[in-house]
Structure 1
Amino acid sequence: MQFKRIKILMLILFFLLDIFLLNWWRSGEVSQERVTDANTDIISEMKKQKIKLPKFGTSLHYSSYVAAQYGDRREMSLPAGLDVSTGAKTNTVFAKFKRDLFKKNGTGSDESVLSTYSAGYQFNPVLTANKTNRDRVYSQRVEGLPVIADSGIMTFQYNKSGKPVGFTKRQLVNIERLRDDRATITEEEAIISLYRYNEIDSGDSLSKGYLSYDRTLTVNGYDIFLPVWAFEAYSGNEKYVLKINAFTGDNLSE
């Protein structure tokens, strides 16, 4: 008899637990729906203010903090065809292309030549759009993401005729992941954060966001990098890079 009572009591407890978990799950679903509705309302408000937005993503990404050190230019592997000059910064390569470099490779082969020199780096549309001249910026890729800090980019200089004449290059080495990957905010949430921080206003334009690595601090000779959402913004004749912490949503724009 006592056993039956215990059995019935356990069944009741399991039943109540199921109800609790179901209600908890439903409350989470409602909360997420409310967040989605709130985001939709804010995006609609931005469009009413004639803010030009990109076709943004709403999916989660995963990333981590990383540590890295500056590479010494004397240890950088460089292809032939360069006149390399020395400077005070031992972490920077200052190079000019020899005049006959592109002639040897034929007409219209600029991109193929540049791809040789930019191996390990990828064209960065945000940093390039921020330039006031013809220069093009390439980012070193770390853990699958482009670096937007000066310590991990190379910049190709162009003359008035649109021909590349040389580049400056910095490189990160001894790269270490500091923590396991964790979820970042979405591109949509980063755009909403910029609006809440008054970084974009009526009539402004915003580029597509790029999840990137940016330097945050230095510890024991290592630079610490965190993932950020980077955008190019236009306000009248002014253009500038905007950044949002991809973990916390904090404003990192300068």
Structure 2
Amino acid sequence: MDWKKTETIFIIAFLILDIFLLVLFIDSRMSSSPTPLVSQTLEEKLKSENITYGKIPSNPEVGSYLSTEPLAFTQTDINDLKGQSIMVQNDNQRIYSILKKPVKIDPDKYGADLMPFLKSDVFEGDRYTYWSFDRERREMTFNQKIDGRPVLFNTNGQIIFTLNQANEVISYRQTMLGDTQMFDEKDDVISGTDALEVLHQHGDLKQNSKIVNTTLGYYNLVSLPSSDVYLPVWAFEVIHDKQTTFFLVNGLEGSVINTSGVDTNEVPNMREDAAQKAKAKRLK
């Protein structure tokens, strides 16, 4: 018997066995190890749910809680409004104007061709910005700006222009908020993308929705006897199943404001109660 050859065969056999056992050991360890979870980004989550959106602001913002109340118009405020028949209503808190010469505009220009009239023939008109056009009611709405941002869903800071069928402005109703008082120093406001993630986590966005507009503005959350309290909010205009709804996210606290969705048809009368509670100023 050739012992040397036999010894070599045994060594090779044991080496093959060791390699085989090592492979089995590694395979069993890998199969028993938990599979790492893959974290989806917000973009991937929205895409998987077929939720589409345009440009969402991601720049840092600042804002603060503030208080204000409806302004009472004085005779001096309306003296320079020419070419109009002016009435002051609601304890002098609303101007109702009928134009002697209608102003022709294109509703599809988002109020751009109405800006010259606003600046020259409406009291403090340059403090308002375009918000929406309701084709059924023939009404174009401009919202007052505070700290460069629009006041949202509040009848106390709006100009609503009425158009005839020829797309001519024939009258308008104007309300205005007075001086504002900041509650504290300005603080960081969450970005639009962070607000969108908050809204998505809250479960308000339905599959197959489309976010058509994102706006940072001020919203009247609390009405007090002497004034109203406003805070910066992100407003998301969402279309789902041909219905438009607005969802609001608190820009300072990063929480969804419980409005059960602000329907566009409800916007004009949402804060009517706040106007009744606010302290009225009288004509001197």
| TM-score for the superposition, normalised by structure 2 | 0.66
Residue 227 of structure 2 corresponds to residue 222 of structure 1: yes
Distance in 1 between the 2:255 and 2:241 partners?
25
TM-align CA RMSD: 2.6
CA displacement at 1:89 relative to structure 2: 5.3
Find the counterpart in structure 1 of residue 243 from structure 2. Answer: 238
Q: 1:162 to 1:49 in 2, by over 3 A?
A: same
* Greater Cα radius of gyration, structure 1 or 2: 2
5+ long unaligned stretches in structure 1 = 1-36, 104-108
Q: How many residues align?
A: 209
Q: 1:159 to 1:43 in 2, by over 3 A?
A: same
Q: 2:176 aligns with which of 162, 171, 178?
A: 171
Distance in 2 between the 1:76 and 1:223 partners?
25
CA displacement at 1:130 relative to structure 2: 7.1
Q: 1:93 to 1:244 in 2, by over 3 A?
A: same
Find the counterpart in structure 2 of residue 85 from structure 1. Answer: 87
5+ long unaligned stretches in structure 2 = 1-37, 105-112, 262-284
Letter in 2 for 1:74: T
Letter in 1 for 2:49: Q
Q: 2:202 aligns with which of 197, 201, 211?
A: 197
Residue 141 of structure 2 corresponds to residue 137 of structure 1: yes
The answer to whether the 8 A contact 2:102-2:170 is kept is no
Find the counterpart in structure 1 of residue 150 from structure 2. Answer: 146
Distance in 1 between the 2:168 and 2:161 partners?
10
The answer to whether the 8 A contact 1:130-1:232 is kept is no
CA displacement at 1:76 relative to structure 2: 7.2
Find the counterpart in structure 2 of residue 6 from structure 1. Answer: none
Identity of aligned residues (%): 16
Find the counterpart in structure 2 of residue 56 from structure 1. Answer: 56
Find the counterpart in structure 1 of residue 28 from structure 2. Answer: none
| TM-score for the superposition, normalised by structure 1 | 0.73
Give CA deviations for 1:118-153 in whole Å, capped at 9, x if unaligned: 2211112xxx16775442221211122211122112
Find the counterpart in structure 1 of residue 130 from structure 2. Answer: 123
Distance in 1 between the 2:139 and 2:68 partners?
26
Find the counterpart in structure 1 of residue 255 from structure 2. Answer: 250
